[in-house]
C-alpha cells in the first residue's frame, strides 16, 4: 500500500483502520475483532486509530486499546512499523459521550492508555475534542507537558477548527488533525481545516469516511456514486474512500470495521483511480 506523511516526519499507510466499531455495544467477539485487525495489518495498513472511550461505558474504558494491544502481540508481522494513535478528553458515563479535557483528567487518561496499550510512550496522542468548560490552551498545554515528559511522542487534535489548530500550534507541534469528513459531509473542506493542514504539512485523519451506519444508506441512495461505482466495479463505499484519497495528499481515511470481509473492501478502495470526470461529477 502507498504511504502518506503526517506532520513531524510520521509516515503511515494511505488508509488507516478505525477501531471504534469493535468495542461499542453489539461488538463482535474478541476472536473476530483480532481477525479484523490482523487482516488490516496483513493488507499493509500501518495506522490504527483508537481512543480510551471506544467502549460501552466508564466501567469499560480502554476496551479497544486493550484489544489492539492483544492483536498486535499475536501478530507475526513487524510491529515496529505500526503506529497506534489514541485519544483522551471524553468520558462515557452510563454510555453517554461527554467531554472532559481538564488537564488532570487528560493526564490520568494518558497514563491509563499507556497501561492499556502496554507501551512506554504513545506514538500519537490526540485531544478527542475541545471541552467548552476548559480553556482550550489548558488542555493542549497538558498534552505538551506529557510530550515533554516522554509519555507522548506526537500530539494530534480531533474535532477542531482552523482557529483551534493555530492556537494549539503556538503551544506544541501538531502532527495531525482528525475531523469527520466524507463525500456527503464536506465541512472539513468548507471550514478551511483541510486547506490549513495542506499548508502546514499536517496529516488529516478523516473519520466516518463513509458516514457511519446511517451514512452508508445515503451513499447507496446517491445516483452519481452508484453510477461511478458500477463503472469501476466497486461499491459506493469504496468510491467514497477513493474520493477522499484523490481530494488531497494529506488525507488519510480511517474507516472502521468489525468484519474481516470489510477489510478487503477497504483495501480495494486504495487501488481505485478516479478519473477527472469522476471527480468533477462528485465535486
The 3 state secondary structure assigned to the chain is CCEEECHHHCEEECCCEECHHHCCCCCCCHHHHHHHHHHHHHCCCCEEECCCCCCCCHHHCCHHHHHHHHHHHHCCCCHHHCEEEEEECEECHHHCCEECCCHHHHHHHHHHHHHHHCCCCEEEEEECCCCCCCCHHHHHHHHHHHHHCCCEEEEEEECCCHHHHHHHHCCCCEEEEEEECECCECHHHHCCHHHHHHHHCCEEEEECCCCHHHHHHHHHHCHHHHHHHHHHCCCHHHHHHHHHHHHCCCEEECCECCCHHHHHHHHHHCCCCCCHHHHHHHC
CA distance 156 to 147: 11
* pLDDT, tens digit (0-9, with 9 covering 90-100), for 110-140: 999 999 999 999 999 999 999 999 999 999 9
pLDDT of residue 41: 98
Looking up cell 477548527 gives: 161
* pLDDT, tens digit (0-9, with 9 covering 90-100), for 87-103: 999 999 999 999 999 99
pTM of the predicted structure, to 2 decimals: 0.97
Length of the chain: 283
The model's confidence at residue 215, banded by pLDDT at 50, 70 and 90, is confident
Task: Find out whether 57 and 37 touch, Cβ atoms under 8 Å.
Answer: no
Task: Find out whether 201 and 259 touch, Cβ atoms under 8 Å.
Answer: no
Task: Find out whether 101 and 62 touch, Cβ atoms under 8 Å.
Answer: no
CA distance 174 to 154: 7
The arithmetic mean of pLDDT across residues 142-150, rounded, is: 98
pLDDT at 213 over 80: no
The model's confidence at residue 216, banded by pLDDT at 50, 70 and 90, is confident
pLDDT of residue 131: 98
CATH architecture for segment(s) 3-282: Alpha-Beta Barrel (3.20)
The arithmetic mean of pLDDT across residues 52-56, rounded, is: 98
pLDDT at 40 over 80: yes
The arithmetic mean of pLDDT across residues 6-13, rounded, is: 95
54 is known as an active-site residue? yes
CB atoms under 10 Å from CB of 110, counted, come to: 21
Q: Which of 262, 238, 157, 241 is nearest to 200 (CA)?
A: 157
CA distance 116 to 144: 21
Q: Which of 52, 54, 238, 243 is catalytic?
A: 54
Amino acid at each position: 500500500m502507498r504511504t502518506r506523511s503526517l506532520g513531524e516526519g510520521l509516515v503511515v499507510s494511505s488508509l488507516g483502520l478505525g477501531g471504534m466499531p469493535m468495542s461499542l455495544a453489539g461488538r463482535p467477539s474478541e476472536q473476530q475483532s483480532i481477525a479484523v485487525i490482523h487482516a488490516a495489518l496483513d493488507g499493509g495498513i500501518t495506522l490504527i486509530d483508537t481512543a480510551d472511550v471506544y467502549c460501552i461505558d466508564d466501567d469499560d474504558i480502554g476496551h479497544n486499546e486493550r484489544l489492539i494491544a492483544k492483536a498486535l502481540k499475536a501478530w507475526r508481522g513487524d510491529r515496529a512499523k505500526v503506529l497506534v494513535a489514541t485519544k483522551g478528553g471524553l468520558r462515557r458515563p452510563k454510555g453517554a459521550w461527554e467531554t472532559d479535557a481538564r488537564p488532570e483528567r487528560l493526564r490520568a487518561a494518558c497514563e491509563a492508555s499507556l497501561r492499556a496499550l502496554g507501551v512506554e510512550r504513545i506514538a500519537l496522542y490526540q485531544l478527542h475534542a475541545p471541552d467548552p468548560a476548559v480553556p482550550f490552551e489548558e488542555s493542549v498545554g497538558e498534552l505538551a507537558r506529557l510530550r515533554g515528559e516522554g509519555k507522548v511522542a506526537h500530539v494530534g487534535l480531533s474535532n477542531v477548527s482552523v482557529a483551534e489548530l493555530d492556537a494549539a500550534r503556538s503551544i506544541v507541534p501538531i502532527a495531525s488533525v482528525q475531523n469527520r469528513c466524507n463525500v456527503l459531509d464536506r465541512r472539513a473542506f468548507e471550514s478551511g481545516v483541510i486547506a490549513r493542514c495542506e499548508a502546514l504539512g499536517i496529516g488529516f485523519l478523516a473519520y466516518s469516511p463513509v458516514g457511519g451506519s446511517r451514512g452508508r444508506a445515503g451513499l447507496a441512495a446517491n445516483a452519481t456514486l452508484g453510477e461511478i461505482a458500477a463503472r469501476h466495479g466497486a461499491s459506493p463505499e469504496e468510491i467514497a474512500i477513493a474520493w477522499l484519497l484523490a481530494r488531497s495528499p494529506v488525507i488519510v481515511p480511517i474507516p472502521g470495521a468489525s468484519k474481516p470481509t470489510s477489510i478487503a473492501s477497504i483495501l480495494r478502495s486504495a487501488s481505485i483511480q478516479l478519473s477527472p470526470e469522476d471527480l468533477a461529477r462528485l465535486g
